[in-house]
Amino acid sequence: MSDAIRTRITQLRSRARGAELGRGVGRLATVLACGLIGWLVIDYWFVVRAFGAGAWDVGTRLVMTAGLLGLVGREAWRGVITEFRRLRDDDELAMRLEGAYPELAGRFISTVQLLRELSQAEHRVASPGLVEALAEETSVQAETVDHRRAWDLRPARRALGFGAVAVIIAVGLASWKPEVASAFFRRLCLMPAHYPTATRIASVTVPAMVGRGDPVVVEVRVDPTSEVPTTVTAVIRGDDGRTSKLRLDRLPIPGEAVFRGTLKQAIEDVAIRPQAGDHHWEAWEPVQVVARPVVRRLAMRLQYPEYLRIPPAELAVGDLEVPAGTVVAVDAEPSRAVIEAAISLAAGVGDPVPAPMELSADGLHATARFTAAENGSWSIGFKTGDGLDSGSPTRWTITAVPDVAPTVTATFPSRDRNVTRVARWPIRFTARDDHGLAGVGLRWQIIPPGVDPETVTAEPGKQEIAGMATAGSEAIAGETWFELASLNLSIGSRVVWWLEAHDRRTPTANLGESQKGTFNVVDPIDEQRRLLETKAELLNTIKDHLKTQKDIQAGVQGVQKAAGGQPATPTQQKPTPTKPAPKPK
């Protein structure tokens, strides 16, 4: 092959490689710059707002990065790497030269092919002279051929221009917003980062776990040096993917921008993502909703005070109405395994006082004992291994029915009496107790003549009455005799007496007292004289009444005569004799 022909082919080969490499580099730069800008736009306007940090966010960025790398790799392979590896043969280049110079009329390609065959020993050309003549003629024509017309550089220039513009735009954007570029490249490399915003959320506080039905408090702190919005919202996403918005109001804390809102009830697991101004929080904050441990089954054994002689009882409800002093043994079964259990007792309206309960090895049984000494309330609280407690457990009431004091009433004598020093009086009474009497006794206090009762400090006299113990709450009637002769009383003294009943309550019995009566000790002669005077007064009173009755009857008869009627026959009514009361001995 002549030097002219080889030179033109070599020059065209070099031009072709340079043009195609330039076009490949330009296209690669365009694809890379546009791909990065597109990645940024999709990530900033869609991924960050829709997903935030988390598996979906990382997965989406991974897919976009993989797509970008795929496009760039495809363009690099087809436009750069393949061109480096490609070796164009002489026939192809000769055809491109003849395409640029139609007047060659196929001589260039023919010369190249014939000279190649002539140089190969195994292929013999019939007329080597003709081939050499054709080669000389083609060499002369090759001197006038410009290889630049055979391969247009405009596509390569356009590609390089577009690539340069795209790169300049990308570099310009990165220089204009370096903080955005920094966050972008970190997110491109699947690292945690967020784009700068006018409003900056400093922190988000939500509970990691709440009980089912409990409120969820969401608190957002905004950097006060950034643009602070008037309100903040939080997107609530449930397990089914449905979302709702929660409004967060600003708290009146000087120098701080704190917003708080409350989701009234948490029924299922939710994820919360606040938004303040143009800042979407990077992560969906998960809130796990778990059923709080509660009492699933309750069994109680009531051990009544021993003195009541009531057999133990079983109970399966929490509200108690028992005699005061009843010991309650509690066996509670929680709704799920727990690591702590406590029983809280409150006396009256006071604050509950917790006490630990004994737990079984599997955490499914809790036992405790307490005494129902007074009215109040009680509850059982649990705590599970995940840190969730019973919250506000059910409070049951305790009605401790006190053992009331016995009642005793003196029925005879019914009023104060004058007595002699040796009188013997019957004392009659009725008594009862809600759980049975242990006994009744007669009590008295002697007040000497002329002494103020308030100054008497001597111990009262006592006389127990046999047979007064009862087993139930029925009333019992009793009688005893008060022997005044044994007291060696002086004339003018007084004996204040009463009855006292006591029950079986331990350690201290309840006491009940009757109304008090008084025996005034008088001289028998004076008392007899007083009785005679009283009798005479009574007889005179009866006579006066009989006379008055006769006068009234006479007046009625006179009226009847004046009216012309028959006089009514008066009926004589004999007074009913009254049986005198027995005289005291």
Identity of residue 432: R
Work out the end-to-end distance of the chain between its first and last CA atoms, rounded to an integer number of angstroms.
175
Which tens digits make up the pLDDT trace of 2-16?
566 777 778 878 888
Q: What pLDDT sits at residue 141?
A: 63
For residue 165, give every residue at least 6 positions away whose Cβ sits within 8 Å of its Cβ, in sequence order, or none. Answer: none
Higher pLDDT, 368 or 59: 368
Burial class (CB in 10 A: 0-12, 13-18, 19+), 342: buried
Identity of residue 499: L
Q: What pLDDT sits at residue 526?
A: 76
Instruction: Give residue 408's pLDDT band: very low, low, confident or very high (50, 70, 90).
Output: very high
3 state DSSP class of 442 = strand
Instruction: Give residue 63's pLDDT band: very low, low, confident or very high (50, 70, 90).
Output: very high
**Is the distance from CB of 194 to CB of 183 less than 8 angstroms?**
yes
Residues pairing with 342 in the sheet: 356, 381
Higher pLDDT, 169 or 573: 169
Which tens digits make up the pLDDT trace of 67-121?
999 999 999 998 888 888 888 877 777 777 776 677 666 666 666 666 666 666 5
Strand-pair category, 396-401 with 285-290: unpaired
Find tokens 């010991």 and name the residue.
327
Structure letter (DSSP) for residue 551:
H
Find tokens 């008594």 and name the residue.
431
Which tens digits make up the pLDDT trace of 490-512?
999 999 999 999 999 988 999 99
Residue 423 to residues 340, 378, 535, 561, Cα–Cα distance (Å) = 73, 59, 21, 59
Rounded distance between C-alpha atoms, residue 150 and residue 158, angstroms:
18
Which tens digits make up the pLDDT trace of 246-263?
999 999 999 999 999 999
Rounded distance between C-alpha atoms, residue 158 and residue 166, angstroms:
12
Instruction: Give residue 376's pLDDT band: very low, low, confident or very high (50, 70, 90).
Output: very high
Phi–psi pair at 10, nearest 5 degrees: -65, -40
Which tens digits make up the pLDDT trace of 309-324?
889 999 999 999 999 9
Please compute the mean of the pLDDT values over residues 206-223 and round it to a whole number: 94
Rounded distance between C-alpha atoms, residue 351 and residue 373, angstroms:
16
**Is the distance from CB of 17 to CB of 151 less than 8 angstroms?**
no
Rounded distance between C-alpha atoms, residue 62 and residue 78, angstroms:
24
**Is the distance from CB of 326 to CB of 305 less than 8 angstroms?**
yes
**Is the distance from CB of 441 to CB of 464 less than 8 angstroms?**
yes
Whether 381 shows a pLDDT value over 50: the answer reads yes
Which tens digits make up the pLDDT trace of 462-484?
999 998 999 888 899 999 999 99
pTM across the whole model: 0.60
Find tokens 């002489």 and name the residue.
90
Instruction: Give residue 128's pLDDT band: very low, low, confident or very high (50, 70, 90).
Output: low
Rounded distance between C-alpha atoms, residue 250 and residue 262, angstroms:
13
Long-range CB pairs of 54-60 (<8 Å, 24+ gap) are 54/283, 54/284, 57/282, 58/190
Q: What pLDDT sits at residue 370?
A: 96
Rounded distance between C-alpha atoms, residue 483 and residue 519, angstroms:
12
Whether 574 shows a pLDDT value over 70: the answer reads no
**Is the distance from CB of 372 to CB of 328 less than 8 angstroms?**
yes
Tell me the average pLDDT of the chain: 86
Closest CA to 285 of 216, 195, 201, 204: 204
Whether 135 shows a pLDDT value over 90: the answer reads no
**Is the distance from CB of 245 to CB of 255 less than 8 angstroms?**
no
Whether 410 shows a pLDDT value over 70: the answer reads yes
Instruction: Give residue 573's pLDDT band: very low, low, confident or very high (50, 70, 90).
Output: very low
Which tens digits make up the pLDDT trace of 525-548?
877 777 787 888 888 888 888 888
Whether 356 shows a pLDDT value over 50: the answer reads yes
**Is the distance from CB of 330 to CB of 380 less than 8 angstroms?**
yes
Whether 123 shows a pLDDT value over 60: the answer reads no
Whether 572 shows a pLDDT value over 60: the answer reads no
Q: What pLDDT sits at residue 585?
A: 43
Rounded distance between C-alpha atoms, residue 104 and residue 134, angstroms:
12
**Is the distance from CB of 474 to CB of 433 less than 8 angstroms?**
no
Q: What pLDDT sits at residue 584?
A: 47
Instruction: Give residue 571's pLDDT band: very low, low, confident or very high (50, 70, 90).
Output: very low
For residue 271, give every residue at least 6 positions away whose Cβ sits within 8 Å of its Cβ, in sequence order, or none. Answer: 236, 237, 284, 285, 286, 287
Residue 359, token pair as written in the block: 């737990």
Which tens digits make up the pLDDT trace of 229-239?
998 999 999 98
Residues pairing with 519 in the sheet: 417, 495
- Kindly report the number of other CB atoms within 10 A of residue 324's CB atom: 17
Please compute the mean of the pLDDT values over residues 331-359 and round it to a whole number: 93
Element housing 66 (H / E):
helix 55-76
Cα-trace Rg, the chain = 60
3 state DSSP class of 282 = coil
3 state DSSP class of 228 = coil
Higher pLDDT, 56 or 355: 355
State how far Cα 572 lies from the chain centre.
92
Whether 168 shows a pLDDT value over 50: the answer reads yes
Q: What pLDDT sits at residue 494?
A: 92
